[in-house]
Amino acid sequence: PLQDFTTGGALAITDNAKNIVIGGYDVGSGPIPSGAIVSLYSTNPESSSLFPWRTSCIIKPIGENKVNLGQQMSMTPDGLTLVASEVISPSIFRTNYASNLNIYTGNGSGMWGLHQVFSGQSGSFINNLNIARDGSTIIAGIIGDNTAGEDAGAAYIYKKNYYNDWDLFQIVTGIDGVSGRYGISVASNNDGSLVAMSSEWANNRSGSALFYKTSSDPMRFYRDDNFYGSRPTVNNISVALTEDIN
């Protein structure tokens, strides 16, 4: 049963519904107590079978003090790229928890291999993840990021390069000096040219959403306050973008 090793993790599914990926969580018992990602695959998801999906692979945390793999997760609709957070618990080398960003590449049939890891800084948690539909852009929201002030929050944007690896492209922050905890939710459009992140604390804790668009000269993201969502909203926790918005 999946509940033996997946409790409270994230969930992703491909457009054709053949591949379902379930993020793990540290439940402290069961066959995989450190939490793991479970990939399910079906050649015929519309089958009359009660549950046509079968386990295609299990991705376990690698190394000491790694837990909660897949607590945050996002997958491209073709099932070829998966991004997941991996929590690192404190050790003699690290006094605080941290989160790694793991990037996996798939074969389209539910099998995954680790492609790249971005190591997190001490005390930083990845609170939300999103990958653009075309796989070009990854956004990691971190509400505890202090770049623009204590607990201002930020979104870390990674771009795919010529060698099919990802590089940290830019860090877009919440409003300077405001403990808005931006990054509680992040989103992108189809090609990653527009990203958004929401806050749970800004504007007297009524929340807000910020939108960032790309410019070509210089190539960077800048905040676009013309979007309606850039003004305060009520209890704004989640943000989403349609794939064709620009």
CA-to-CA dists, residue 61 to 32, 181, 228, angstroms:
10, 28, 41
Contact present, 157 and 214 (Cβ < 8 Å)? no
Q: Which residue has the higher pLDDT, 33 or 153?
A: 153
User: Between these two residues, 189 and 65, which has the higher pLDDT value?
Assistant: 189
pLDDT score of 183 more than 70 = yes
Q: Under DSSP, is residue 228 helix (H, G, I), strand (E, B) or coil?
A: helix
Q: Taking the CA atoms of 243, 143, 27 and 112 in sequence, report the sign of the dihedral they define.
A: positive
The answer to whether 4 and 30 are in contact (CB under 8 A) is yes
d(CA 125, CA 133): 24
Cα separation, 146 vs 94, whole angstroms: 19
pLDDT for position 13: 93
Task: Give this prediction's pTM.
Answer: 0.86
Whether pLDDT at 117 is above 70: yes
Q: What order of strands is seen across the sheet that includes strand 37-41?
A: 11-13, 19-22, 37-41, 54-59
Instruction: Name the more confident of 157 and 61.
Output: 157
* Cα–Cα distance list, 208 to 140, 154, 182, 184, 230 (Å): 18, 13, 8, 11, 6
- Of 71-75, 149-153, 223-227, the range with the lowest mean pLDDT is 223-227
